């Protein structure tokens, strides 16, 4: 039976936080045997580390500052993240990057925080988990400055077009695909190019509790996305790619473990 690793879940500071035990148990019951809890700012990264201590067999975490929180970047932020990254559960720097869609933080602060976190990932030789929305040109320009020295780089929740996909593949980065691909309104372009992602660079994720797959039938009573729905997303993508589910699941699971430097 296939097993899955959900490479991006938002358990801290989300609607799932009060129900974590059930969420983890339900995920395991649906063969989602491991998950990566995202740290999007320093306090959340710290809480993610503490949460992982309660579920050492199932949860890992990241340490980083999301572009939405880039305005919170302080002189000591780098040192705090450096220390946090020493925790056994922390397997990547991030979530970091650029978001020009919502612009919750000034763009110059976003670029600064992104570059400094990439530099930290280089220094520590850790993988980096990244976010990009409506900021492709600046994102790729900054990434290129560090890419040759990064051990591994992942753009999670990829929702770009063919041009951006080609640019990311050229940089040899991993791409995470969510239930966005199941959305008949917004996900059509992604569905048409998901076949172009190399077998050894595609990962699957829920980005829970966001992006509940719209194509699920029967539709879940709750609008919250959960890690337990990851097999559905994997099946949807496998069908688009004309791949057998078991083979696709095995490939993406192996890719996830390889990216994060974990044993397969």
pLDDT tens digits, one per residue of 118-171:
999 999 999 999 999 999 999 999 999 999 999 999 999 999 999 999 999 999
pLDDT at 264 over 80: no
Q: Is the pLDDT of residue 49 over 80?
A: yes
For residues 25 and 221, which has the higher predicted lDDT (pLDDT)? Answer: 25
Task: Please give the structure tokens belonging to residue 254.
Answer: 């192996």
pLDDT at res. 255? 98
Q: Is the pLDDT of residue 1 over 90?
A: no
Domain 4-259 has CATH 3.20.20.140: yes
CA distance 53 to 196: 38
Average pLDDT over residues 3-24: 95
DSSP category for residue 72? G
Per cent of the chain over pLDDT 70 is 100
Residue 13: its pLDDT value, please?
87
In the chain, the percentage of residues whose pLDDT exceeds 90 is 97
- H or E segment and range at residue 5: strand 4-9
Asked whether 179 and 211 are in contact (CB, 8 A), the reply is yes
| Average pLDDT, integer, range 58-84 | 97
pLDDT of 263: 85
Question: pTM of the predicted model, to two decimals?
Answer: 0.96
Confidence of residue 239 (pLDDT cuts 50, 70, 90): very high
Number of helical H runs and strand E runs in the chain: 9, 8
User: 61 near 51, Cβ under 8 Å?
Assistant: yes
Cis upstream peptide for 95 (omega within 30°)? yes
Q: Which residues are annotated as a binding site?
A: 95, 131, 156, 207
Q: What would the pLDDT profile of 103-132 be if each residue is shown by its tens digit?
A: 999 999 999 999 999 999 999 999 999 999
Instruction: Judge whether residue 261 has pLDDT over 90.
Output: yes
Q: How far is 138 from 80, CA to CA, in rounded Å? A: 26
Q: Residue 95: what pLDDT?
A: 97
Annotated binding site for a divalent metal cation: 95, 131, 156, 207
pLDDT at residue 84 is higher than 90:
yes
Q: What is the pLDDT of residue 242?
A: 98
- Cα(11)–Cα(220) distance, rounded to whole angstroms? 19
pLDDT at 91 over 80: yes
Q: What is the mean pLDDT of the chain?
A: 97
Residue with tokens 């309660």: 54
Q: What is the pLDDT of residues 168-205, one digit of tens each?
A: 999 999 999 999 999 999 999 999 999 999 999 999 99
Query: Looking at residue 203, what DSSP letter applies?
Result: E
């Amino acid at each position: 039976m296939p097993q899955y690793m959900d490479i991006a879940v938002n358990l801290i500071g989300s609607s799932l936080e009060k129900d974590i035990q059930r969420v983890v148990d339900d995920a395991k019951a649906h063969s989602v045997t491991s998950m990566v809890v995202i740290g999007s700012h320093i306090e959340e990264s710290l809480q993610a580390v503490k949460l992982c201590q309660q579920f050492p067999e199932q949860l890992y975490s990241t340490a980083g500052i999301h572009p939405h929180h880039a305005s919170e970047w302080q002189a000591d932020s780098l040192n705090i993240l450096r220390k946090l990254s020493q925790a056994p559960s922390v397997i990547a720097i991030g979530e970091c990057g650029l978001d020009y869609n919502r612009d919750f933080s000034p763009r110059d602060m976003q670029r600064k925080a992104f570059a400094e976190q990439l530099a930290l990932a280089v220094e520590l030789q850790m993988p980096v988990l990244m976010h990009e929305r409506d900021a492709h040109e600046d994102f790729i320009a900054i990434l290129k400055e560090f890419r040759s020295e990064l051990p591994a780089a992942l753009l999670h929740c990829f929702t770009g077009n063919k041009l951006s996909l080609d640019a990311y593949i050229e940089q040899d980065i991993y791409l995470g695909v969510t239930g966005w691909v199941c959305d008949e309104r917004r996900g059509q372009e992604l569905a048409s190019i998901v076949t172009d992602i190399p077998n050894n660079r595609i990962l699957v994720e829920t980005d829970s509790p966001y992006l509940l797959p719209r194509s699920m039938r029967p539709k879940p009573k709750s609008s919250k996305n959960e890690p337990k729905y990851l097999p559905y997303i994997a099946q949807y993508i496998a069908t688009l790619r004309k791949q057998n589910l078991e083979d696709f699941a095995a490939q993406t699971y192996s890719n996830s473990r390889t990216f994060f430097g974990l044993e397969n």
